[in-house]
Amino acid sequence: MSFSSVKVHYCRYMQDWDKLSERICKSSYVGFDVEYVDKTPATIQLSSPTEAFVLHVFHYKELPKTLIQLLENDGIIKIGVGVKDDLKKIDDKYKTHCQGGLDIGWTAYLIGAISEYRGIDYLGEKLLGEKKLGGFATWGIGRLEKKQIDYAAKDAWIGVCVAEKIIMKV
């Protein structure tokens, strides 16, 4: 599977997420990432291998209840690189108790899929043949551009797809 076949949902408003949340909240694992404005979460990305969700939480007054339930549920594994730091920053900002983070960079290294701990860009290129798009500076103000949405979604998608690939090897 390639990222070009992934259905990407941009949830600028809470009601956008509310309409779609059941599509991913029943998963036992999701790709996960966060983009920031300063040290404040601006977007939270979640992904399955076929669908990705970019929640532009910078515009939300509070986090949606279904998102909090997903983040606090240790039975839903949140997969990415640097996940524990991202979950801690969400905890600090929104007074949540996020659980269930799995750093796929360390996992890939520990099982021998890669020779040293590396970031999501490297994992995507080395293990999936997927290159990342360029980075972006502005995540908070206004509506995100399509290339920003795809960049954010791809981070979460790479996490879940790398996990599936290396788990099949073990």
DSSP string, 60-95: -SS--HHHHHHHH-TTSEEEESSHHHHHHHHHHHH-
Name the residue among 155, 10, 136 with its Cα closest to residue 83: 155
Domains of the chain, start order = 3-169 (3.30.420.10)
First vs last Cα of the chain: how many Å apart?
Answer: 20
pLDDT tens, position by position, 17-51: 999 999 898 899 999 999 999 889 999 999 999 99
Name the residue among 26, 48, 45 with its Cα closest to residue 35: 45
Portion of the chain with pLDDT greater than 70, in percent: 96
> Model-level pTM?
0.93
- pLDDT(7) > 70: yes
